[in-house]
Amino acid sequence: MRYGFVIDHNRCIGCHACTVACKEEHNVPVGVFRTWVKYIEKGEFPDTSRHFGVMRCNHCEAAPCVEICPTTALFHRDNGIVDFDNSRCIGCKSCMQACPYDALYIDPNSHTAAKCNFCAHRVELNLEPACVVVCPTRAIMAGDLDDPQSQVSRVVATQKVASRKPQKGTQPKLFYAGIEGDFLQPSMMHADGGYAFADHNPAANQYTSAPDRAASAPGTARVVYDVAHPQPWGWIPAFYLWTKSIAAGVLIVAALMAVALSAANDSATRAILNFVSPAAALLFTAITAALLIADLKRPERFYFIMIKPNPRSWLVWGTWILIAYSGVAALWFAFGFFTASVPRALAAIAIPLGLGSACYSAFLFGQAKGRDLWHSPLFLWHLAVQAIIAGAALMILIDAAMRGRHYLGLAAAAVLIVAVPLHAFMILSEAFLPKDGEELRYAVDVMVHGKLRGYFWYGALVVGALVPLILLSLALPRHAAGIPLNALAALAVLAGLLAWEHVWITAGQAPPLS
């Protein structure tokens, strides 16, 4: 049994009865929607036409929201319905990033995720979903797609139907008949700044004003009625990536330095390597965890990740990796503080765990099927490079704070001279390598030419790459006298890295999904 929907837009009159019935049936709060009707207009006066599109959860066979949810709050019923249990939800908003259809929202009352659940409580009683019952033209049909005698199965088999974004591999079970292609490709539509019945609020998604290629195309569809879809993630995830890079990188760099500078036995070098570096790793890992918890809509439930885990979610794997990394850092600190020596085996374990802590986000973001920018094949390697430069920058600052008369600062500066150009090259590659897909090109436009261009060009590249390389080149021949320049370069690297994390997080969410 596979329950699914067919919506016949040859019949839809845009009356919003489905939206009202859904809100009443599920007590959906004002401002959020499980099902909504979108209007677009085409042509120029007097030759214009208006079209309606009913938007909602697609109850995907391979639902990315189910895969990414760290606490199995989203799950498949035996009948194919994708349902949710808000008593398990921690409000991480990962499901909103995973859904390519904008079907999920955060309920302002329960502070948990919510969406269309096919009126599962009605289906269990052999009743039709509320939206099906109230539709005056029978444009909405629901039934078992596996039953050849059901109405939905017959329509799918005998009529020309389409689904939204089948290229995402989600196998949606919502099919449209008679719908305009524009509705299936949100990038083919544009908003003029006003809606049919109200002024458009651009703050709902303030980063979608990239150079609008679609707006200049003849016959382009104009969105004249829609609901707001604000970006789920803001500055906190950017800070989270930034502090995680520092936390992972400082112990990676310390482990490499412990091998490379084994002949350097001055007390300051030993102090930094043996217990200052692991203490810094623990501090920034704790900050990372605090940021992750702070960004949850139900932070008091954060421990559900550990007691109710979904082993398919990389948010769960990331939590386990960070816990293991913290344990190694704590052991490193204990050995260094109490015995003044760290076993080489511990340092060897710290490097792969540090890389895992830095790089697991590439797999987590890869589960965000709705965000094409985050699926870059460079992202994994870029996270590793970011950890190296963040760790080296922090090592320089620690060295400067301890009067900088030992080898670590110079060695870390040498690491930056090699790694920062590679970081800049990867940033430029993300922006200028050929891109497949309109949504990906849209995100890059926002990043390079849109409202994020200042953070991209001046923050990530000038402050984060060009300025540090100039300062480091000036500091190299001056040895001890160049320590303040190295410290300034390290601060610039960290500031530029934070700017890049903000660009990456925000631009990825810029393209409209529905």
Q: Does pLDDT of 1 surpass 60?
A: yes
CA distance 137 to 206: 37
Helix (H, G, I), strand (E, B) or coil at 127: coil
> What is the average pLDDT across 399-414?
81
Q: Does pLDDT of 132 surpass 70?
A: yes
Mean pLDDT of the chain: 89
How confident is the model at residue 146, as a pLDDT? 93
CA distance 510 to 514: 12
Residues of the chain with pLDDT > 90, as a percent, come to 71
Beta-strand ranges (E) seen in 237-299 are none
Q: Does pLDDT of 472 surpass 80?
A: yes
How confident is the model at residue 418, as a pLDDT? 95
CB-count burial class (<10 Å; 0-12, 13-18, 19+) for 454: exposed
The answer to whether 130 and 25 are in contact (CB under 8 A) is yes
CA distance 296 to 280: 25
Taking each helix axis as running N to C, give the angle between helix 235-260 and helix 407-432, from 0 to 180 degrees, rounded to the nearest 10.
140
- Residue from 501, 249, 192, 229 nearest 393 by CA: 249
Q: Does pLDDT of 507 surpass 50?
A: yes
> What is the average pLDDT across 68-86?
95
What's the token pair of residue 265? Answer: 């036995």
How confident is the model at residue 200, as a pLDDT? 52
Q: Does pLDDT of 103 surpass 50?
A: yes
Q: Per residue in 20-53, pLDDT tens?
A: 999 999 999 999 999 999 988 888 878 888 888 8
How confident is the model at residue 149, as a pLDDT? 93
CA distance 265 to 220: 69
> What is the average pLDDT across 112-120?
96
421 phi/psi in degrees, rounded to 5: -60, -35
Give residue 172's pLDDT band: very low, low, confident or very high (50, 70, 90): very high
Higher model confidence: residue 183 or residue 194?
183
Instruction: List domains and CATH numbers for the chain.
Output: 3-225 (3.30.70.20), 235-508 (1.20.1630.10)
How confident is the model at residue 204, as a pLDDT? 46
Higher model confidence: residue 505 or residue 166?
505
How confident is the model at residue 169, as a pLDDT? 92
Higher model confidence: residue 431 or residue 187?
431
The answer to whether 186 and 511 are in contact (CB under 8 A) is yes
CB-count burial class (<10 Å; 0-12, 13-18, 19+) for 505: buried
Q: Which stretch of 70-84, 403-417, 456-470 has the lowest confidence by average pLDDT?
A: 403-417
CA distance 346 to 44: 70
Q: Which stretch of 95-104, 194-203, 221-230 has the lowest confidence by average pLDDT?
A: 194-203
- Residue from 122, 121, 161 nearest 145 by CA: 161
CA distance 282 to 280: 5
Q: Does pLDDT of 390 surpass 90?
A: yes
How confident is the model at residue 345, as a pLDDT? 85
Chain CA centroid to CA 55, Å = 22
What's the token pair of residue 21? Answer: 């019935």
Q: Which stretch of 99-103, 196-200, 254-258 has the lowest confidence by average pLDDT?
A: 196-200
What's the token pair of residue 85? Answer: 């249990």
477 contacts: CB under 8 Å, gap ≥ 6: none
How confident is the model at residue 195, as a pLDDT? 62
Start-to-end CA distance of the chain, whole Å, equals 28
> What is the average pLDDT across 327-335?
94
What is the identity of the amino acid at 367? Q
Residues 34, 38, 43, CA angle at the centre, nearest 5°?
170
The answer to whether 416 and 489 are in contact (CB under 8 A) is yes
How confident is the model at residue 209, as a pLDDT? 43
How confident is the model at residue 214, as a pLDDT? 42
Prior bond of 46 cis (ω within 30°): yes
What's the token pair of residue 122? Answer: 């009605």
The answer to whether 129 and 123 are in contact (CB under 8 A) is yes
42 phi/psi in degrees, rounded to 5: -135, 155
Q: Which stretch of 212-226, 413-427, 493-507 has the lowest confidence by average pLDDT?
A: 212-226
Q: Per residue in 229-285, pLDDT tens?
A: 889 999 999 999 999 999 999 999 999 888 776 655 677 788 888 889 999 999 999
Higher model confidence: residue 411 or residue 260?
411
How confident is the model at residue 194, as a pLDDT? 61
The two beta strands, 74-76 and 47-56, are unpaired
How confident is the model at residue 83, as a pLDDT? 96
CA distance 286 to 273: 20
Give residue 183's pLDDT band: very low, low, confident or very high (50, 70, 90): confident
Give residue 216's pLDDT band: very low, low, confident or very high (50, 70, 90): very low
How confident is the model at residue 30, as a pLDDT? 92
The answer to whether 371 and 446 are in contact (CB under 8 A) is no
The answer to whether 89 and 100 are in contact (CB under 8 A) is no
Q: Per residue in 338-382, pLDDT tens?
A: 887 788 888 889 999 999 999 999 999 999 999 999 999 999 999
CA distance 385 to 66: 31
Taking each helix axis as running N to C, give the angle between helix 314-339 and helix 277-294, from 0 to 180 degrees, rounded to the nearest 10.
150
What element of type H or E holds 44? strand 35-44
